[in-house]
Amino acid sequence: MKLLLDFLPILLFFGAFKYGENNKDWAAAFASEHLGFMVSGGVVGPNEAPVLLATVVVVIATLLQVAYMIVRRQKVHAMLWVSLALVTVLGAATVWFHSDTFIKWKPTGLYWVMGAAFWVSQVFFRKNLVQALMGKQFELPPGIWQRLNFAWIAFFGLMGLLNLYVAYSFETATWVNFKLFGITGLMLVFMVGQGLYLGRHIKDDEPAEAGKDAA
């Protein structure tokens, strides 16, 4: 349920964009009629309507996601608040200026904020966020935790750059596909790699613990 809730805004953005792209004239008419007051000039063209509609959908979905968690008395994590702020500000700019450039920066902004949080916590506060999140499940040497923390920092930094590369090098439709499938796939690959790395070190520790018990 939580996984679906986390991915729901992305799925709705993808679905709204694809529907608008396949029905550009309808999307332009609908956006001009219902969103004209939010758009500079009051008129939305067929080529820009799909991403504008998808942007409005993802802003509403993220707002509802946060509201749902508050009503259910669930903790709204800091990154979700950051995501809400970014999608609201950049989404509003996208709609008003008829430009998808702003919303394309949202994933990069979120990844770089997350990477900066991991880096600042490690360097200035001597707090390893990866260890704070996973320390109850795994017992690892400090050096391993530090490597994992900087691996996440590097991953977030590179993902932000990759998002910009796709956004500026390909059409919006390609970027939308990458946002759902590419980013999700790369995240899964990274998580699997991290799991294999953790498993290797955990296996190394088990024989030593068994030896202690036998003694």
**Confidence band for 92, pLDDT divided at 50, 70 and 90:** very high
pLDDT at residue 111, as a whole number? 96
pLDDT digits (tens, 9 = 90+) for 156-177: 999 999 999 999 999 999 999 9
User: Three-state secondary structure along the chain?
Assistant: CHHHHHHHHHHHHHHHHHHHHHCHHHHHHHHHHHHHHHCCCCCCCCCCHHHHHHHHHHHHHHHHHHHHHHHCCCCCCHHHHHHHHHHHHHHHHHHHHCCCHHHHHHHHHHHHHHHHHHHHHHHHCCCCHHHHHHCCCCCCCHHHHHHHHHHHHHHHHHHHHHHHHHHHHCCHHHHHHHHHHHHHHHHHHHHHHHHHHHHHHHHHHHHHHHHHHHC
Say whether pLDDT at 9 is over 80.
Answer: yes
Return the pLDDT at 188. 93
Q: Note the pLDDT tens digit of each residue in 128-155.
A: 888 888 767 777 788 888 889 999 999 9
Give the global pTM.
0.84
